[in-house]
Amino acid sequence: MEYNLDATGEKLGRLATKIAILLMGKNKPDFTKNQVVDVKVNVSNASKLDIAKKKMKQKEYQRYSGFPGGRKVENMEKVIADKGYTEVLRKAVYGMLPGNKLRPLIMKNLIINE
């Protein structure tokens, strides 16, 4: 099954929850949490998301290299400038999926176009 979503004028979090529910298969009556559903989600116009200017400056993404002093923090504005809106949407959906071995397999079914 394939879903086509248009991100024009949508809020980031609202769209990410819709995508996460579709990817997990929670909208189907035969939902099982230990299997990957055969569903593809195509998101178009990711660059036309409705993101507030305040959130662009305040929302921070952090990663850690494992070494002392290796914590890197970037705000949303920087991430969008470097990698585009697709990365912001991908991170939002990634955080809404269950943190188990299936998460990377589920994320392969997400296709985002700017």
Contacts of 88 (CB under 8 A, 6+ apart): 12, 49, 51, 76, 79, 80
Structural domain count of the chain: 1
Query: What's 36's domain CATH number?
Result: 3.90.1180.10
Q: Whole domain around residue 36: which residue ranges?
A: 2-51+84-112
Mean pLDDT of the region 1-10 = 93
Residues 23-33 have pLDDT tens digits of 999 999 999 98
Residues 97-113 have pLDDT tens digits of 999 999 999 999 999 99
Instruction: Please indicate, yes or no, if residue 91 is contained in any of the structural domains.
Output: yes
Instruction: Inform me whether the pLDDT recorded for 39 exceeds 90.
Output: yes
pTM: 0.90
CA distance 58 to 80: 13
Instruction: Please indicate, yes or no, if residue 78 is contained in any of the structural domains.
Output: no
pLDDT of residue 114: 85
